[in-house]
Amino acid sequence: MEVLNSGRSVLDAIEKGINVVENDPKVDSVGLGGYPDAEGNVTLDACIMDSNGNAGAVAYLSNIKNPISIARHVKEKTAHVLLAGKGAQKFALQNGFKKENLLTPETKKRWERWKQTNKEMHDPVKDNHDTIGLLAIDKNGNIAGGVSTSGWAYKMPGRVGDSSIIGASLFVDNNVGAACATGLGEKVIETVGSFLIVEKMREGYSPLEACKIAIKRLSKYNNSNIFQVSYLALNKDGEYAGFSNQKEFSYSIVTNNLSTIVKSDYLLK
């Protein structure tokens, strides 16, 4: 809101808002201090989409704490949409970003504890997939969105989640609205959730109805009760909603008159 109120663009608000979370070492699922993979390496996914339908993304980016800013650079300074791994890191360094160790003493300690007790990957339900997804609309009705995460804790090295996949974790159509996702990225990719939600809003469904349709698609999985997927949607009129397959999903709403945390409704009661 501070960025928007200072007269800067809705895309600036998305990037700067997500940077706050990426820079916070206490948030253990995004940026600095994010969960590492099974070998102790923190690898990050992010994507961003603007009001003109242009997108940028990074996948499997290491040692750069602000993947959302690199995603924006990909969108604005290359002919591509998605850069991954070493190439994404090289691009970040060429653009003046700093190489940093993202594994904090706290997340290192937790990873070492996990290594002693777990031979398999962590359970996707118990683990935190607290991706940040941020959608914003400005006073002129322009919409943008972004997503940033360290992904599934102790994932297989090489794993890329939904947060770098436009259409899965994020979609923006300035004529209709936007949607973003958090939770088990594999299921979000397989159901192309955010694109589905925006298309449903285009058909006239409300943000809540559209999120429910995307969550119901998860019922194709026999085990949809053992993982978590949650969506947020925002339409052109500024109406918004969140919906989850399971309980315990909350999201924040900030306007000039309001700053609050809302408990999302959910499907599996």
Q: Is 173 in the site for ligand GLY (CB under 6 A)?
A: no
DSSP E strands, the chain: 43-49, 55-62, 82-84, 132-137, 143-149, 170-173, 177-183, 229-235, 240-244, 250-254, 259-263, 265-266
Could you give the angle at the alpha carbon of 22 between the alpha carbons of 86 and 122, nearest 5°? 75
Residue 60 near residue 48, CB atoms below 8 Å: no
* Closer residue to ligand GLY (CB): 131 or 264: 131
* Closer residue to ligand GLY (CB): 67 or 151: 151
Scanning the structure block, which residue is given the tokens 């969108």?
75
CB of 153 to ligand GLY, least distance (A): 10
* Closer residue to ligand GLY (CB): 3 or 133: 133
CB of 160 to ligand GLY, least distance (A): 8
Q: Is 131 in the site for ligand GLY (CB under 6 A)?
A: yes
Selected binder of ligand GLY within 17, 34, 151, 242 (CB under 6 A): 151
Q: Is 183 in the site for ligand GLY (CB under 6 A)?
A: yes
Q: Is 149 in the site for ligand GLY (CB under 6 A)?
A: yes
Which span (18-26, 103-111, 161-169, 238-246) binds ligand GLY, by CB under 6 A?
Answer: 161-169
Which span (68-76, 100-108, 136-144, 178-186) binds ligand GLY, by CB under 6 A?
Answer: 178-186
Q: Is 129 in the site for ligand GLY (CB under 6 A)?
A: yes
Rg (CA), the chain: 17
DSSP one-letter string for 10-56: HHHHHHHHHHHHHT-TT-TTSSTT----TTS--EEEEEEE-TTS-EE
The pattern of x and - marking residues 83 through 122 that bind ligand GLY according to CB under 6 A reads ----------------------------------------
Identify the helix (H) or strand (E) that includes residue 90: helix 85-94
Q: Read off φ and ψ for residue 13, nearest 5 degrees.
A: -65, -40
**Paired strand residues for 143:** 137
Residue 32 near residue 22, CB atoms below 8 Å: yes
Q: Is 67 in the site for ligand GLY (CB under 6 A)?
A: no
By CB under 6 A, the count of residues binding ligand GLY is 12
Q: Is 146 in the site for ligand GLY (CB under 6 A)?
A: no
* Closer residue to ligand GLY (CB): 172 or 229: 229
Using CA atoms of 30, 46, 131, 192 in order, give the dihedral in degrees to the nearest 10: -160
Catalytic residue numbers, as ranges: 131
Interface ranges with ligand GLY (CB under 6 A) = 129, 131, 149, 151-152, 161-163, 182-185
